[in-house]
Structure 1
Amino acid sequence: MRTPNLLGSLLFPLIVTIILAAAPWSYALNQRSSKPSSSVTPSSQLKYHNGRIIAGPAPIHVYIIWYGEFSPIHKTTITAFFSSFNQSVNPIIKRHPTVSTWWSTTQSYKNVKGKSVPSRVRLFGEVSDPKCSLGKNLKRADIATLVKKTIAKKAFPVDKTAMYLVLTASDVRVEQFCLNSCGFHNSVLVSPRRRVVYAHVGDPGTQCPGYCAWPYAAPAHGPPSQVLVSPNGVGIDGMVMNVATILAGTATNPFNTGYFQGNALAPLEAVTACSGIFGKGAYPGYPGKLLMDRRSKASYNVNGVKGHKFLLPAMWDLLTKTCTVTG
């Protein structure tokens, strides 16, 4: 995943050469010099490089490591986001996008055998490390170590259809987070012959809201833009946006041999190809037309379970060759 250089982009630089790690991808939001309405032109498309994707029909399993102290609302919102991938559509809001309809765009991403990305995503396990066993200043390699230790303790199984997601609290510093990245994904050997995919996303609420939670915070750089009201809190909603981006990139390009466009060391992926787009009519500094909650005035673009509302980035649709939120 790679590094954008425009306002609000969610790009993922491959760290294997850029950061000297063993095949990681990170989302950078050099969002704030200007915000592109799209990084992919209508005449271009993401290319399939004939490598592995996470393919169905079994759902993608997500295992969360909560690293640091998280509030109950923080955890509830993140877990509700994952529950929303499997929600049934309420007839009252059936004309509005949902998390599951957003994810349906991934069904056009298929491997060499014709199998698509799973239509379902499920939260399969959670563990907490509130005392920060590895400290509060982490290297990227520490994220892999944390995942390996958790699996070694048998808190999580070795699961080839999984993403092991490390979420760090607002007071935990992770190498490169907020400097040129809002999260990353990578893979690590957990046995001589077993490799798993893992990812990291931090809480940008106090560390870098203008860098990793736009448009819910003023951009860190570039022209000013209207700050929107967040439905769940700036830090929480920033994490949701970045988790969604990481998840789509992991599913469609887990080992940097799947779907991407451009240089393999700094490619555009399923969501980062649509940097800065959250609704129709997006342009630099404007996320696009969004829904608004009448009571709270919070802006969002998809509905979740139990009345939750989220803002998710647009995804590149291989069939229509457009950036879409609605699937």
Structure 2
Amino acid sequence: MYYTSRPPCSSYKYKPSNIYFFNPTPLKPTLTIAIAMAGFVSSMLVLIVQLHLLLFIAAPLFQQFSLATARPLMASSDGEKFSSMKYHKGHLLTGNITVNLIWYGKFKPTQRAIISDFFISLSSSVDNHPSASTWWKATQKYYYQPINNSPHSALTLTLGNQFLDETYSLSKSLSTSQIVQLASKGGHRNAINVVLTAPDVTVNGFCSSRCGTHGSAAAAPVAKSKGSKIYKHAYIWVGNSETQCPGQCAWPFHQQMYGPQSAPLVAPNGNVGMDGMVINLASLLAGTVTNPFGNGYYQGPAEAPLEAASACAGIYGRGAYPGYAGELLKDESSGGSFNAYGINGRKYLLPALFNPKTSSCEALV
């Protein structure tokens, strides 16, 4: 990945992205045994009860997935202070960054539009507030933190190319390495490549330990000459959980699988799977730009960091607590719950972001 300085301010003009199709390649022994067996069974029963209690109480914590993963149900009360977000002396993404979308599996054009409109909304102004672009601007608080006596320069996002793989060229069961392989289809220089998998695609760890992830991979050398440097490019993967695990990865648009129960909210764009993907994408996108290579901003251990959005998991509005997303806006016509307006009349639910200056989570509403 190349890092560039912040470009001059200019208005954002969207040009329809290109869409490509591709195909990648002293007792009696019997009594002693009986007593021992009884003790073993008793111990196992106690252990099972303890495990059930642990799952009920701490399940939301288990869903706060590891490095660069999305995302979880655990929330904190409004105004609660958190530990500081530490900077680990690595690069942030800066300058003009292109977001390329790789669609793996079958998605309807209306479904793809929900996601593409989301990315465009991050750099577009709309009449209604709060907006998706307002949410995105909150990430700039990380760029203006003094680091090495000078602040980072911020970045701008542009939607780039879209690649369609509707033939499941790598099968319907993917490994992490295959996700990276798919992510390589997009451009590598100044880019974030986003892999989105359809509801009938299983991915290693999907649902059981993660709803999505972000990371980096080696990009092709810029020049094929001796000593040419190999750079890294950032990627994101998010799965559509509508049929596999909506209670884990599409909450609050589906009743959660564990923990406190409440009625699910209505998805603002009328699609539980896609609106859930937006939440996970937003969380991972914030983590990608502020901790792209594992040495940027995060809390906790490097192998299981809390990043700009995952540090505020489950918080979407004022008064949020475990099982309750907070006070949100509601679309009068559809009943959908949201906290951000986007282009083309879109409405989105976006996670709270951790403010590094105040060490607190801040939601749009």
Sort the TM-score into its range (normalised by shorter chain).
Answer: 0.7 to 0.9
Equivalent residue, structure 2, for 1:188: 217
SS in 2 for 1:69: coil
Range 193-202 or range 106-115, more displaced: 106-115
CA distance in 2, matches of 1:9, 1:308: 32
Distance 1:78 1:304, change over 3 A: same
Tell me which amino acid in the other structure corresponds to 2:70. Y
1:310 aligns with 2:345: no
1:46 aligns with 2:92: no
1:157 aligns with 2:208: no
Q: Give the counterpart of 2:180 among 144, 151, 168.
A: 144
1:263 aligns with 2:292: no
CA distance in 2, matches of 1:213, 1:9: 16
TM-score normalised by length of structure 2: 0.76
Over the matched positions of the two proteins, sequence identity in percent amounts to: 43
Q: Give the counterpart of 1:87 among 124, 131, 145.
A: 124
CA drift of 1:248 comes to 0.4
Q: How do 1:174-185 and structure 2 match up within 5 A?
A: 174-185=203-214
SS in 1 for 2:60: coil
Alignment check: 8 A CA contact 1:10 1:245 kept: no
CA drift of 1:51 comes to 0.8
Tell me which amino acid in the other structure corresponds to 1:157. G
Equivalent residue, structure 2, for 1:301: 339
Alignment check: 8 A CA contact 1:271 1:314 kept: yes
CA distance in 2, matches of 1:41, 1:231: 28
CA distance in 1, matches of 2:268, 2:250: 12
CA distance in 2, matches of 1:157, 1:69: 22
Q: How do 1:160-175 and structure 2 match up within 5 A?
A: 161-175=190-204
Q: Give the counterpart of 1:103 among 112, 136, 160.
A: 136
Equivalent residue, structure 2, for 1:124: 160
Range 163-172 or range 192-201, more displaced: 192-201
CA distance in 2, matches of 1:177, 1:264: 21
Greater radius of gyration (CA): 2
CA distance in 1, matches of 2:277, 2:299: 25
SS in 2 for 1:198: strand
**Over aligned residues, Cα RMSD in angstroms?**
2.1
Alignment check: 8 A CA contact 2:65 2:209 kept: no
CA distance in 2, matches of 1:73, 1:42: 40
Equivalent residue, structure 2, for 1:13: 66
CA distance in 1, matches of 2:327, 2:126: 22
CA drift of 1:13 comes to 1.2
Alignment check: 8 A CA contact 1:85 1:103 kept: yes
Distance 1:270 1:48, change over 3 A: same
Distance 1:130 1:267, change over 3 A: same
SS in 1 for 2:232: strand
Equivalent residue, structure 2, for 1:153: none
Structure 2, unaligned runs of 5 or more = 1-57, 222-229
CA drift of 1:39 comes to 11
CA distance in 1, matches of 2:198, 2:169: 13
CA drift of 1:124 comes to 1.1
1:253 aligns with 2:291: yes
TM-score normalised by length of structure 1: 0.85
- Over residues 214-263 of structure 1, what are the superposed CA-to-partner deviations in whole Å (9 max), with x where a residue is unaligned? 11001111221121111121001000000001100000001110000111
1:234 aligns with 2:272: yes
